[in-house]
Amino acid sequence: MIGKKPVITYTSFTILKPTGDSFAYIFFDTDDLIPAAHKFFIDTLWKDANVPKIDAEKAAAFIKDLFPEFVDFKIE
């Protein structure tokens, strides 16, 4: 589930019954970040999560449109 606008909160949580992939992904600011992330999400949804390819492409397109709002490359 993806919200319409990102909200940043700083908290910790515990996953009581981990299932599936338990990974964190880090995207570095490169010239091809958005196309690379788009392809990454298509492949991950399609091949790893077994989402039908057409649906994975639609979901990845939605994520691609929201991706710039979730990314903050400012170093504080």
| Confidence at residue 56, expressed as pLDDT on a 0 to 100 scale | 96
CB 64 within 8 Å of CB 54: no
What's the predicted TM-score (pTM) here? Answer: 0.65
The predicted model gives 21-41 an average pLDDT of 83
Q: What angle do CA 44, 50, 51 make, to 5 degrees?
A: 85
| Confidence at residue 54, expressed as pLDDT on a 0 to 100 scale | 97
pLDDT digits (tens, 9 = 90+) for 32-66: 988 999 999 999 999 988 999 999 999 999 989 88
Higher pLDDT, 76 or 16: 16
